[in-house]
Amino acid sequence: MSAELVLSSVIFFGLAVIIPVIMLLTAVFGPRSGGVAKNDAYESGIKHVVGMADQKFSVKFYLLAILFLIFDIEAVFMYPWAVSLRELGMFGFLEMVVFILLLLTGLIYILKKGVLNWR
């Protein structure tokens, strides 16, 4: 195992221990009480909770999530290209121009289809 890996895991597990400990301190210092009303979900002060939390949502949020996946993966894909642009030459540049233009076309198509028209 390389030294880098050891160091990274030490940082990682150190934090993974410390933060829950901060949170568990409240279990030591804090009071412990319960009750029907106390364990209810908060609802602006009325006595009994109306309806369920899992209600219907606009499907646009799911569409946006899927769009995000496409654009995010594409953005991360551009990072190695950006680092090595100087070595890639004109061909590498033009390839990425074609790729980004395709992507922009896709974005315009999505917007024209009305994914972001909310009413």
CB of 41 to other proteins, least distance (A): 4
| Least CB distance to other proteins at residue 46 (A) | 12
Applying CB under 8 A, among 5, 23, 46, 59 the residue interacting with other proteins is 23
Q: Per CB under 8 A, does 15 bind other proteins?
A: yes
Interaction between residue 27 and other proteins (CB under 8 A): yes
Tokens, residue 37: 């009303």
109 lines the binding site for other proteins (CB under 8 A):
no
| Residue type for position 113 | K
Exposure class string for 40-54: b at 16+ Cβ within 10 A, else e: eeeeeeeeeeeeeee
What string marks each residue from 38 to 77 as x (binds other proteins by CB under 8 A) or -?
xxxxxxx------x-xxx-x---x--xx-xx--xx--xx-
Residue 67 burial class via C-beta count within 10 angstroms: exposed 0-12, middle 13-18, buried 19 and up:
middle
Give the CA-trace dihedral at 32, 36, 40, 42, to 10 degrees. -80
Q: How far is the CB of 48 from other proteins (least distance, A)?
A: 12
Asked if 102 is part of the footprint of other proteins (rule: CB under 8 A), the reply reads no
